[in-house]
Amino acid sequence: MHPPYRQDYVSISLTGQGSGGYNNSKQWRRQSCWRKWKQLSRLQRSLILFILLLLFICGIASYPTVTEHLRGLTDEEQDTDSNSVLKPVIPHVLPEPIKQDHPALPEQLSQRKLSNRRGPPVLQNRLQRKGNTSDTVAEDKPAGDQKEGEEEGVISWPGVVIDTEQATEGTKEKEDSPANPEAKSSKESEVSRLEAVREAFRHAWKGYKDFAWGHDELRPISKSYSEWFGLGLTLIDALDTMWILGLKEEFEEAKAWVATELTFNKNVDVNLFESTIRILGGLLSTYHLTGDSMFLDKAKEIGSRLMPAFNTPSKIPYSDVNIGKGTAHPPRWTSDSTVAEVTSIQLEFRELSRLTQDPQYEAAVAEVMNQVHKLDGKLDGLVPMFINTNNGQFTHQGIYTLGARADSYYEYLLKQWIQGGKKENQLLEDYLQAIEGVKKNLLQTSSPNGLTFVGEVSHGQFSPKMDHLVCFLPGTLALGAHSGLAADHMDLAKQLMETCYQMYVQMETGLSPEIVHFNMHQGSTRDIDVKLADRHNLLRPETVESLFYMYRFTKDHKYQDWGWEILQNFNKYTKVSSGGYTSINNVRDPEYPSPRDKMESFFLGETLKYLYLLFSDDTNLISLDQYVFNTEAHPLPVWPSTA
Ligand code: DMJ
C-alpha cells in the first residue's frame, strides 16, 4: 500500500522591507529582487552565497557515490573468485542500472484506475466475450459478496486486503498504454515497467523476509511459511533474479544467509528434479553471474549429495534422495519416475562436471538421455509420462502430452544441444522429431476463432486439453528458430503465443487457469472452457517466459504489452498487502479469486525474472547467444567452442 503522494518543500524567504504593493510586471519583479538583495546586510549576503557554494560542492561530491550505487557492485566486490579452480565461462554480468530519466509522477500514478483491457484488438473483436466467460464458472463466493467495510477497488479476504488500485504500484503508465505504446516514449515506458517489476519483487521479498525467512515458501495470507525440503528454496531460487534486477541490498542479505545458514547435511528427502533445477541451477547461475566461489562450493555440495539417486538397477534415477543419509528411493506407491524429471536435470549436472572437471555428474545424466533415446513406446518422437527405475522402460504408455510430466523433456533436448555448442546431433534429432510429432498428433485449432493449441493423445484419442505448462513451447520453438532451426518453428511459436495470451485474456481476472479445454466443434460460441477443478493460478512463469523469447527475437512490442497486462493482473488479484503474492483458486471470479495462501518459489525465480527481461531492451542482459536458461529460469553459460 502506498501512502498518499507527499511533497516536501524547503523554502527560504527573503523578507524585504516595503513589500506592500503587488505589481505583476517582470521588470518590477527583477528590480524588486535586486532591491531586496541590496537591502540585505553584507553578512546576510555572504551567508547566502556561502550556503549556495556549499550546496554546489556537496552536489559535485555525491555524484560518483550515486552513480556507483546505481551500478551495483564495484569491481573489487565482484572479483572474489580467486580461490576457485575454474572461472565462469562468461564474465560476470553486472546488474544494469535503472535509468530514471523521467520518473513517473507519483500523484499521476496513484489517481489512475488500472486499465484492464483484454486481448489484441483484432482477436478481441472476433471473440464473443459474453460467451467466453461464463459457462463453467461455479459460484464459490461466501455469502454476502460485498463484505463489510469493503470499498470500491479493494478486495478483502479474511485476514488480507488487496488494494486493486495499487496494482503496479508507483509505476503506472498513461491510460491505455498497452493499446497505445506511443503514449509514452519507449525509453520511458521501459524504465517504468522495469521499475514495476523491481517493485513487485521487493513486495514479494518483503513478505518472504518478514514471515518466511530461511524457509522454503511464503504463506502470505497466514503470514507464515511452508517447508518442502527445508532448504530456503525461495531464497536460493531468487538469488540470480535479485542480481539481474540490480537489487544489491536484498542480494547481499540473501548471500549472507547462504554463506552462514544454508546446510545440506540434513536428514531430509528432496525431490531430485526440483532440487536440481531450483537449488543446483540457482547456485550455478549465481556463481556465473557474480563470480563468487562460495556459490560454486555450495553447488558442488548439493550436486554430490544428489548423486545417490542414480544408484538404481536401470541407472534411471529415483525421484527422491535423502541428502543427509545418502540414500534414494522412488515414491512410496511406485517404482516409476517421471519422464520430464529424469530428463530435465542434464543442463545442471553437465555444467557441474565442466566446472569441477569431475565427469561423474555428466556421465550419470547422459546415460539417462541415451537410454530414453533408444526406448520403444514413443509416438513420432513424443514420450510417455513415466519410466521404470528397475527395467528402464516406459510405463503407463499411451498418453502423450507437452504438459505435466513430459514438458521439459522437449525443452532440454534443444537446450542441451545449445549448451554444448550445437554438436550433439542425437539431441537435435530427437528434438526435431518430437516437434514433428507435435504437429502431426497434438496440434489443432479451436472454434470459433481458430486458436492453434497443443492437445493431448490418450490411447489413440485426441483430447483438446492444454496445461498452462505447455506455454513454455512458444519460447522454446522461437529459441530453436533463432538457433538456426526451421523458420516454420517461429510461425508456430507466434500462433501458440497468441493462444497462451488468450488463456489469460479470456478469463475474468486476466490470469490463466492451470488447464484449459478448447472447443473444436463447429458452432461453438467460445474457444476456451475451464473445468471447475482447473481454475487455479499458481503464479506460473511459462507464458511470460515465452513472451520474453518472442520479444527478444521479434522486437514486436505487443509481446511486452501482453506481459505488462499480466503483471498488472498479478498485482491486482494476487498481491497481498502485508507482503508477498498468493496463488489463487479461481481465475474466473474477480470479486473473490480465493487465495491459496502460497507463494511458489518460481514466482521469484522465474516469473518476475522473465517479466524483467521481457521489459528490458538490453539484449546483452543475459544474451541468448551466451546463456541458456534452465527450466527454472537460471541462466547457465553456453560452452565455449573447443574446436
Ligand atoms: C517450474 O518449477 C519449472 O518451470 C518447471 O519446469 C515446471 N514447473 C514450474 C513452473 O511452473
What is the grid cell recorded at 320? 527422491
Q: In the prediction, which pLDDT does 201 show?
A: 99
CA of 108 to the centre of ligand 1 (A): 37
Distance in Å, CA 510 to ligand 1 centroid: 21
Contact call for residues 238 and 607 (beta carbons, < 8 A): no
What's the pLDDT at 155? 37
Do 350 and 363 touch, CB atoms closer than 8 A? Answer: no
Query: So what's the pLDDT on residue 164?
Result: 37
Please give the share of the chain, as a percent, with pLDDT higher than 70.
Answer: 74
Instruction: Give the pLDDT score at 156.
Output: 35
Give residue 245's region: left, alpha or beta (phi > 0; psi -120 to 50). alpha
Residue 483 C-alpha from the chain's centroid: 23
What pLDDT band is residue 61 in, cutting at 50, 70 and 90?
low
Average pLDDT over residues 576-605: 98
Residue 108 one-letter amino acid: Q
Q: Is the pLDDT of residue 123 over 60?
A: no
What is the position in ligand 1's atom list of the atom closest to the CA of 538? 11
Residue 50 has pLDDT above 90, yes or no: no
310: CB partners within 8 A, 6+ apart:
317, 328, 364, 367
Asked if residue 595 has its Cβ within 6 Å of ligand 1, the reply is: no
Pocket test for ligand 1, best of 602, 607, 609 (most atoms within 8 A of CB): 602
Catalytic (active-site) positions? 274, 407, 514, 542
Instruction: Provide the CA 374 distance to its chain's centre, in angstroms.
Output: 35
What's the CA-to-centroid distance between 43 and ligand 1, angstroms? Answer: 70
Please determine, for residue 68, whether its predicted confidence score (pLDDT) is greater than 80.
no
Q: Which atom, in ligand 1's list, is nearest to the CA of 633?
A: 4
Q: Do 511 and 533 form a contact (C-beta atoms < 8 A)?
A: no
CB-ligand 1 contact for 631 (6 Å cutoff): yes
What DSSP string runs through 80-112?
--TT-SS--SSPPPPPPPP--SSPPPHHHHHHS
Distance 274 CA to ligand 1 centre (A): 9
Higher local confidence (pLDDT), 556 or 5: 556
Reported as a pLDDT band with limits 50, 70 and 90, residue 620 is very high
Residue 164 per-residue DSSP state:
G
Element at 550 (helix H, strand E) = helix 542-554
Ligand 1 touching residue 583 (CB < 6 A): no
Provide mean pLDDT across the span 197-213: 99
Which tens digits make up the pLDDT trace of 234-292?
Answer: 999 999 999 999 999 999 999 999 999 999 999 999 999 999 999 999 999 999 999 99
Does ligand 1 have an atom closer than 6 angstroms to the CB of 572?
no
Best mutation site among 271, 540, 545 for ligand 1, i.e. most ligand atoms within 8 A of its Cβ? 540
Q: Which long-range contacts link 215-219 to residues 24+ away (Cβ below 8 Å)?
A: 216/601, 217/598, 217/599, 217/600, 217/601, 218/579, 218/580, 218/598, 218/599, 219/597, 219/598, 219/599
- Measured from the Cα of 340, ligand 1's closest atom is 6
Q: Are 543 and 506 in contact (CB under 8 A)?
A: no
Among the atoms of ligand 1, which is closest to the Cα of residue 468?
11
Lowest mean pLDDT among 132-136, 380-384, 422-426: 132-136
Regarding the beta carbon of 541 and ligand 1, being less than 6 Å apart is answered: yes
Closest CA to 278 of 286, 288, 268: 286
Percent of the chain with pLDDT over 90: 70
Ligand 1 atom with least separation from CA of 545: 4
Q: Average pLDDT for residues 500-521, to the nearest whole number?
A: 98
Find the 408 Cα to ligand 1 centroid distance in Å: 8
| Amino acid of residue 22 | Y
CA geometry: angle 110, 112, 118, nearest 5 deg: 130
Least confident piece of the model among 149-163, 202-216, 233-247: 149-163
Average pLDDT, the chain: 82
Q: Within 10 A of 608 (CB to CB), how many other CB atoms are there? A: 29
Query: In Å, how far are 115, 183, 503, 622 from 165, measured between CA atoms?
Result: 10, 21, 24, 33
Mean pLDDT of 205-230: 98
Determine the atom of ligand 1 nearest the C-alpha atom of 408. Answer: 6
Q: Is 516 helix (H, G, I), strand (E, B) or coil?
A: strand
Mention every residue, 6+ apart, whose C-beta is less than 8 A from residue 570. 200, 511, 539, 581, 607
pLDDT, tens only, 400-440? 999 999 999 999 999 999 999 999 999 999 999 999 999 99
Closest listed residue to residue 346, CA positions, set 624, 549, 636, 84? 636
Q: Are 315 and 391 in contact (CB under 8 A)?
A: no
Lowest average pLDDT, out of 80-89, 180-189, 258-267, 618-627, goes to: 80-89
Among 217, 271, 272, 277, which is best to mutate for testing ligand 1, by the most ligand atoms less than 8 A from CB?
277
Q: Is 512 in the pocket of ligand 1 (CB under 6 A)?
A: no
Cβ(496)–Cβ(507) below 8 Å? no
Does the beta carbon of 276 sit less than 6 angstroms from any atom of ligand 1? no
- pLDDT recorded at residue 51: 80
Pocket test for ligand 1, best of 270, 348, 632 (most atoms within 8 A of CB): 632
Of all protein residues, the one whose alpha carbon is nearest to atom 10 of ligand 1 is 540
> Would the CB of 602 count as within 6 Å of ligand 1?
yes
Task: Decide whether any atom of ligand 1 lies within 6 Å of the 540 Cβ.
Answer: yes
Assess whether pLDDT exceeds 50 at residue 85.
no
Task: Check pLDDT > 70 for residue 30.
Answer: no
Strand partners, 456: 463
